[in-house]
Amino acid sequence: MSTINVNAIDKESGSTLTLGGSGTQVTLHASATSSGFDSGLASVQTFTSSGTWTKPAGITKVIVEVQGAGGAGGTINGSYASPGAAGGYAKKLIDVSSISSETVTVGTGGSGGSGSGSGSAGGTSSFGSHCSATGGSGGGHNSTTSATGGTATGGDINISGGEGNINYQYNGGAGGNSPFGGAGGGSAIAGSGSSGATNSGSGASAGGYSGSSASGAAGIVIVWEYK
C-alpha cells in the first residue's frame, strides 16, 4: 500500500479529490478545514444611527469598528476658547457563529454653544456588549483646559480620541481628530465654528469671539462580515 503525504488541499469539506493515474477518489472531511475564515470578505453593514445588526446567512465572523461621537466646541467671551474632543475608537474580531443579532448604538455629536456657552459631550457608540467607545468631551466656555478625548473598551484595538487645539488669539481653535479624519478647523474672530461632520467622531471647533461654536460629528459603527 502506498502512502501519500499531503500538506494542504484547497478544497471544501465534503468535496471529492481524484488522485491522478490511479483514479482513486478521496472524500475530504470537516477535520481538514481551517479554523479561520472559510472565504474572504462577504459583505459590510454601516450604521450611522442606532439600530440592530442582523447576521446574514453563512457569516461566521465579523470585524467591528466602533467610533464614539465628537464633542462640541465652547465659545469665547474673553481670550480663550476650548474646542471639542474626538470620540474613542474600538476595533474587534468577533466569532458570531452562535449569534444571530446584536444591538448597535451610534453616538450623537455634542451640541454647540452660542454666545457664552460650553459645548456638550458626544455620545457613546457600541456593538452589543462586545466593545464600546465613549464620545469626546465638549469644549468649555472661555476655558484654557483642553477637552478630553473619548476612550474605548473591549476592542482588540482601543484608541482614545484626539484633544482639541486651544487658540489664544480670540479665534476658535480646531477640534480633536478621530481615526476617520480631521475635525472642524478653527474659526475666525467673531466667526462660527465648523464641525468637520463628514469625518465621523471628530470634535468641533470653538467659536470665535462672540461667535457660535459647532456641534461634534456623530459616531459610526461598521461591521465587516466574513464567511
Residues 6+ apart with CB under 8 A from 209: 76, 77, 170, 171, 189, 190
Q: What is the predicted pLDDT for the residue at 54?
A: 98
Mean model confidence pLDDT for the chain:
76
Cα–Cα–Cα angle for 21, 19, 23, rounded to 5 degrees: 55
Check residues 103 and 14 and name the one with the higher pLDDT: 103
Average pLDDT over residues 126-135: 97
Percentage of residues of the chain with pLDDT beyond 90: 39
Q: What is the predicted pLDDT for the residue at 200?
A: 74
Check residues 39 and 91 and name the one with the higher pLDDT: 91
Q: Please give the model's pTM, rounded to 2 decimal places.
A: 0.77
Average pLDDT over residues 139-153: 83
pLDDT digits (tens, 9 = 90+) for 73-123: 877 665 666 788 889 999 999 999 999 999 999 999 888 766 667 788 999
pLDDT above 70 (res 20): no
Q: What is the predicted pLDDT for the residue at 186?
A: 53
Cα distance between residue 172 and residue 162, in whole Å: 17
Percentage of residues of the chain with pLDDT beyond 70: 62
Q: What is the predicted pLDDT for the residue at 171?
A: 60
Q: What is the predicted pLDDT for the residue at 208?
A: 55
Check residues 112 and 137 and name the one with the higher pLDDT: 137
pLDDT above 90 (res 58): yes
Highest average pLDDT, of 9-23, 146-160, 182-196, comes from 146-160
Confidence of residue 26 (pLDDT cuts 50, 70, 90): very low
Q: What is the predicted pLDDT for the residue at 217?
A: 86
Q: How many CB atoms lie within 10 A of CB 227?
A: 15
DSSP output for the chain: ------S-----TT-EEEPTTT--EEEPPGGGS-SS-SSSEEEEEEESS-EEEEPPTT--EEEEEEEPPPPPP-EESSS-B-PPPPPPEEEEEEE-TT--EEEEE-PPPPPPPBSS-PPPPPPPEEETTTEEEPPPPPPPTT--SPPPPP-EESSSEEEPPPPP--BSSSSBPPPPPBTTB--PPPBPTTPPP---TTSTTPPPPPEEET-BPPPPPP-EEEEEEE-
